[in-house]
A = this chain, B = another copy of it.
Amino acid sequence: MNAIHDNEYGRRLSRLQQTIRNLQADACIISTSVNQFYLLGHIFDGYIYLLPDGEPLLFVKRPAGITGGRVNYIRKPEQLPELLSQSRIELPQRVLVECDSISYSAISRLQSALGMPELINVSGEIRRIRSIKSEYELEQLRRSADIHAAVYRQIPHIYREGMTDIQFQIELEREMRLAGSAGIFRTFGENMEIFMGSILAGENAQSASPFDFALGGEGLSPLLPIGANGTKLIPGTTLMVDMAGNYTPWMSDMTRTFAIGEVPEIAHRAHRLSIDICNAIAGTARPGTPCADLYALAEEMVKKNGLADFFMGTKQQAKFVGHGIGLEINEPPVLAPRSKELLECGMTIAVEPKFVLPAIGAVGIENSYIVQQNGLEKITRYEEELTSLS
């Protein structure tokens, strides 16, 4: 593991402190795991209390044993006013909180405890801050992508004739874990449940899911309706592999598709188009490129090839072709028709033009890229062609 630069956390905290000042707020309170990890490198049950300047205060319920000058142990948020007062800090009038991720109950209780300050939602702004990666973070992403590729190299060895999608997935999950996968796969938002990734075989690729991922799948149980459903891998169908790249905290995202035996010509044609779209986007995208333009480029290529009915699903079609990646698998920016975002240097995006072909399955690829000054750097380096498993 690379040593993390001393100034890495300082840089992240000061970007958030700039936001506090810009929004003329008095404090920002952080209690989600993902943002605590981002700002301090560790997770605790409690609050990071960040002022417009200076070191953050930590109000910690658990774990025991966190030390440092500005650490206060608490049992409940109602203790904050007195502890702030002891540190000669006034109660905030305007406070930034993570309204998109923290429950209504928890935020309401915190607001009452602090004497009802005005709340400003900081979730989107922290996600924007996180979307621009440092060199250290980019190195983590590249390392994750390299391991991701090494794991996918096991796919031909895992495949056995007559397997089901879930039997295949279980063996791939084991390879992932042996390669250092963290297991949990962090997503943003209330409708993004998944377990370690998605395997889609044959007709199951058409099943619409309730979650906001590119494709669906019925899942094994109505309790988690996404991905593999026990479909047997049979000749003439495809196997799409889109498993998590969580080998470092900064996650890569990569999809590859395999043919079971021989598949119809349209599968090869649509798969080739997916590769071409990725290449076209990679050839066009620069810092400053509107994300909506990249979606439009993909859409135009799809229409020109007469494959619009199969693009990003059939019964339900996702209206995006890519998304930011990082500590969560769905970060800004989003490559969607109505996106107002422009690419910036240091952003990291996954591009996933996919097709679902009735009676065949899903085809296409997904690559992860870093937005560099002179264009996109592809970090998911693994054979892209539709190769046959047998």
A326 CB to nearest chain B CB (Å):
12
Enumerate chain B residues within 8 angstroms of A208, measured Cβ to Cβ.
62-65
Q: How far is the CA of A142 from the CA of B224 in the complex (A)?
A: 21
CB < 8 Å neighbour of A195 from B42, B184, B224: B184
Q: Scan A6-40; emit 1 where CB is below 8 A from any B CB, else 0.
A: 00000000000000000000000001110001000
CB < 8 Å neighbour of A174 from B42, B170, B191, B193: B170
Q: How far is the CA of A177 from the CA of B99 in the complex (A)?
A: 35
Query: Is the beta-carbon distance between B31 and A190 smaller than 8 angstroms?
Result: yes
Query: Is the beta-carbon distance between B100 and A101 smaller than 8 angstroms?
Result: no
Answer whether residue A371 sits at the interface, using C-beta atoms and an 8 A cutoff.
Answer: no
Enumerate chain B residues within 8 angstroms of A31, measured Cβ to Cβ.
190
Enumerate chain B residues within 8 angstroms of A42, measured Cβ to Cβ.
222, 225
Q: How far is the CA of A175 from the CA of B328 in the complex (A)?
A: 28
Answer whether residue A387 sits at the interface, using C-beta atoms and an 8 A cutoff.
Answer: no
Answer whether residue A72 sits at the interface, using C-beta atoms and an 8 A cutoff.
Answer: no
Answer whether residue A154 sits at the interface, using C-beta atoms and an 8 A cutoff.
Answer: no
A280 CB to nearest chain B CB (Å):
29
Answer whether residue A103 sits at the interface, using C-beta atoms and an 8 A cutoff.
Answer: yes
Answer whether residue A121 sits at the interface, using C-beta atoms and an 8 A cutoff.
Answer: yes
Known: A103-B104, A190-B106, A316-B64. A37 touches B223 (CB 8 A): yes
Q: How far is the CA of A171 from the CA of B171 in the complex (A)?
A: 10
Query: Is the beta-carbon distance between B315 and A65 smaller than 8 angstroms?
Result: yes
Q: Scan A179-197; emit 1 where CB is below 8 A from any B CB, else 0.
A: 0101110000011011110
Query: Is the beta-carbon distance between B104 and A210 smaller than 8 angstroms?
Result: no
Query: Is the beta-carbon distance between A224 and B64 smaller than 8 angstroms?
Result: no
Query: Is the beta-carbon distance between B182 and A173 smaller than 8 angstroms?
Result: no
Q: How far is the CA of A187 from the CA of B194 in the complex (A)?
A: 14
Query: Is the beta-carbon distance between A45 and B191 smaller than 8 angstroms?
Result: yes
Q: Scan A35-51; emit 1 where CB is below 8 A from any B CB, else 0.
A: 00100011111000000
Which residues of A line the B interface, CB within 8 A?
31-33, 37, 41-45, 62-65, 97, 99-108, 119, 121, 123, 166, 170-171, 173-174, 177-178, 180, 182-184, 190-191, 193-196, 207-212, 216, 220-225, 249, 315-316
Sample 7 A-B pairs with CB under 8 A, ordered by A number.
A31-B190, A41-B222, A45-B212, A62-B208, A63-B208, A183-B224, A223-B249
- Please provide the 8 A-B residue pairs with the shortest distance between their CB atoms, ordered closest to farther: A183-B195, A63-B208, A64-B316, A104-B107, A99-B104, A99-B105, A170-B177, A45-B191
